Amino acid sequence: MSLLVVGSVALDSIETPFGKRREILGGSATYFSISASFFTGVRLVAVVGADFPKRYAQKLEERGVSLEGLELKKGGRTFRWKGRYEYDMNAAHTIFTKLNVFKNFSPRIPDEYRKTPYVFLANIDPDLQLAVLKKVLAPRLVACDSMNFWITNKSKALKKLLGKIDLFFLNDSEARLISGEVNLMKAAKYVFSLGPQRIIIKRGDSGALFMTRQGGCFSAPAHLMETIKDPTGAGDSFAGGFMGYLGRTNDRGDKAVRKAVIYGTVMASFCVQDFGPERLLTLKPADIKKRFDDYKKNTCL
Amino acid sequence: MSLLVVGSVALDSIETPFGKRREILGGSATYFSISASFFTGVRLVAVVGADFPKRYAQKLEERGVSLEGLELKKGGRTFRWKGRYEYDMNAAHTIFTKLNVFKNFSPRIPDEYRKTPYVFLANIDPDLQLAVLKKVLAPRLVACDSMNFWITNKSKALKKLLGKIDLFFLNDSEARLISGEVNLMKAAKYVFSLGPQRIIIKRGDSGALFMTRQGGCFSAPAHLMETIKDPTGAGDSFAGGFMGYLGRTNDRGDKAVRKAVIYGTVMASFCVQDFGPERLLTLKPADIKKRFDDYKKNTCL
């Protein structure tokens, strides 16, 4: 079953100890879409400016991503982000964020998108996430992501959103920030009190935790990697693999969810191997299958 | 099959955000012995001073630990350590270390100990670890632990030791320190070049990595805990569970090693639930079985 994603499509400039790139294809919805496209059909809602390179849109189209919902704002400039990572690549240092066309974005959902059964509200202003949610009709599963900026500055809108979604993706520092708890189990309890039935706490190279309000838990270590060039987009690639697998199987049972967590981990591991979405864009389905099998071998009793 | 451990028996004073304790039973060999005693017979080699409380020795005896190798130095004072942990309990801040009777310790191995098939050289001066290794006769498996102090100050002796052992337990910061590599896979490669066939990198609440020189790997997340009062001894409790399980089964095959990593994780998780070895000392075998099963449920596909 197909997926709808709303989030950012951006031009990213990135520096890591392993090199740098200028104005490459980026954004939360971009990484999510490319990653999920290996599993199921993806419909993207976002906005770009007139300066957005056609070849970047082509890359998404080549992955089969539907761009009917990608608005092109005449005269506008595309969202830009510049960041730097040190050797410990768990945290990005933002050099600048230029919202540009996202400043006054009002998401337009094409009619045929409105019945998409799986919905991912990638990291954008929670008011925009809420606006999109209003326009979709009886989805089977709604997931969202957020970030420290919205937790701090749009707490009310974010909490309203969390009362309306099924699954919340957040990283460990966001879980601690939103809850005021250092311990992740205590942080998770607080997040459940805000509404979601399920959460996934992403912990960078310490792996991911899937938890349910009923006390269910699946703890998955990260895939061990000798080469990590650029962690940008890892979280959205994780969400893309996770949601993509659920969409493909249309199964939300415990076993399917565990496999989805592993597919999320696998897609994130490919993402970080090269700058931006470069590695994701050259992936073959057999690469994914092989890494899934390797991962199982390295983690299962 | 029985285990021989040489290491420290100490009086620890500990402060954490959850309380403090003064001169409680501690030391690397203590935690290892108590943990391993739930799996197989343990023979302890260490030294204490005349001030070592009899009731502490009794606690070890009640766990069936053989104390024939525990030297009582007349007129000497027991090794003391004082440390503090902040909310992020992954690193201890040492307030003081008083070697006392360990300053001139020359390990005496009782004759019947010399044929013990499984040997654990817990964290002490690598020269002492080497001295013990000379006295044991054809062990089936020799493992050792160390710490940043010896990596920095006794690098030559430690490297000599690593050329003679099978399995090296170290934590992530020690792996980075000894190798000069941030990436743990690269760090592991360097450690293999020093001699060990197998290593276990302990990563605190990020779990543990078992790796073999041939490229085998088992990555185990930590057990999720809502209450962590005191992380002192977690690494040695891990080693005790791991080596204890191998000793009990006398099986060093891949499946046994994976189960041993989980038993190590389980014993470490009990250790951190209360101060010092308090929780370990009240454990029942059924508690271990239950947590092993819970852990499998939370981590296996």
Closest residue of B to A254, CA-based? Answer: B301
Q: Confirm if B249 and B257 have CB atoms less than 8 A apart.
A: no
Per-residue pLDDT band for A88 (boundaries 50, 70, 90) equals confident
Inter-chain residue contact B300 with A298, CB threshold 8 Å:
no
Work out the average pLDDT over B119-124: 96
With a cut of 80, say whether residue A90 has pLDDT above it: no
Per-residue pLDDT band for B90 (boundaries 50, 70, 90) equals confident
Q: How far is B265 from chain A (nearest CA, A)?
A: 13
> In the structure encoding, which two tokens stand for residue A204, read together?
């960078």
Distance of CA B52 to the CA centre of its chain: 21
For residue B204, give the DSSP letter. G
Among the partner residues B185, B221, B300, nearest to A207 by beta-carbon distance: B221
> In the structure encoding, which two tokens stand for residue A169, read together?
């993706």
Which site among B173, B219, B258, B261 would you substitute to test the A interface, given the most A Cβ atoms closer than 10 Å to its Cβ?
A: B219
Per-residue pLDDT band for A89 (boundaries 50, 70, 90) equals confident
Average pLDDT, chain A: 96
Q: Number of helices and strands (H, E) in chain B?
A: 11, 13
**Which alpha helices (DSSP H) does B125-230 contain, by range?**
126-135, 148-153, 155-162, 172-179, 184-193
β-bridge pairing A118-121 and A3-6: parallel
For residue B109, give the DSSP letter. -
Inter-chain residue contact A182 with B217, CB threshold 8 Å:
no
Inter-chain residue contact B224 with A219, CB threshold 8 Å:
yes
Per-residue pLDDT band for A39 (boundaries 50, 70, 90) equals very high
Inter-chain residue contact B203 with A207, CB threshold 8 Å:
no
Among the listed residues A82, A44, A73, A78, the one whose alpha carbon sits nearest the alpha carbon of residue A61: A44
Residues of B in contact with A225 (CB under 8 A): 183, 185
* Sequence-distant (≥ 6) Cβ neighbours of residue A141 within 8 angstroms: A117, A118, A119, A166, A167, A243, A246, A252
Per-residue pLDDT band for B91 (boundaries 50, 70, 90) equals confident
**What percentage of residues in chain B have a pLDDT greater than 90?**
95
Report the distance separating Cα B122 and Cα B120, nearest Å: 6
Q: Confirm if A3 and A247 have CB atoms less than 8 A apart.
A: yes
Per-residue pLDDT band for B172 (boundaries 50, 70, 90) equals very high
Q: How far is B76 from chain A (nearest CA, A)?
A: 42
pLDDT tens digits, A250-299? 999 999 999 999 999 999 999 999 999 999 999 999 999 999 999 999 99
In this predicted structure, what is the pLDDT of residue B174? 96
Residues of A in contact with B186 (CB under 8 A): 226
**What percentage of residues in chain A have a pLDDT greater than 70?**
100
With a cut of 80, say whether residue B51 has pLDDT above it: yes
pLDDT tens digits, A141-190? 999 999 999 999 999 999 999 999 999 999 999 999 999 999 999 999 99
Per-residue pLDDT band for B181 (boundaries 50, 70, 90) equals very high
pLDDT tens digits, A190-245? 999 999 999 999 999 999 999 999 999 999 999 999 999 999 999 999 999 999 99
Count of residues making up chain B: 301
Could you tell me the pTM of the whole model?
A: 0.95
Q: Confirm if B203 and A206 have CB atoms less than 8 A apart.
A: yes
Number of CB pairs, chain A paired with chain B, less than 8 A apart? 71
Inter-chain residue contact B88 with A203, CB threshold 8 Å:
no
With a cut of 80, say whether residue B294 has pLDDT above it: yes
Average pLDDT, chain B: 96
**What percentage of residues in chain B have a pLDDT greater than 70?**
100
CA distances to B158, B167, B213, B236 from B192, in Å: 14, 10, 6, 21
Among the partner residues B203, B221, B226, nearest to A219 by beta-carbon distance: B221
Residues of A in contact with B190 (CB under 8 A): none
- DSSP β-bridge partners for residue B145: B169
Residue A14, H or E segment: strand A10-16
Among the partner residues B206, B218, B255, nearest to A206 by beta-carbon distance: B206
Q: Confirm if A190 and B190 have CB atoms less than 8 A apart.
A: no
Work out the average pLDDT over A107-135: 96
Distance of CA B10 to the CA centre of its chain: 14
All domains of chain B in start order, with CATH: 3-299 (3.40.1190.20)
Inter-chain residue contact A262 with B301, CB threshold 8 Å:
yes
With a cut of 90, say whether residue B249 has pLDDT above it: yes
In this predicted structure, what is the pLDDT of residue B89? 79
The Cβ of residue A48 has, within 10 Å, a number of other Cβ atoms equal to 26
In this predicted structure, what is the pLDDT of residue B87? 81
Distance of CA B30 to the CA centre of its chain: 9
Closest residue of B to A203, CA-based? Answer: B206
Per-residue pLDDT band for B60 (boundaries 50, 70, 90) equals very high
Report the distance separating Cα A191 and Cα A245, nearest Å: 24
Report the distance separating Cα A45 and Cα A286, nearest Å: 29
Amino acid at A140: R
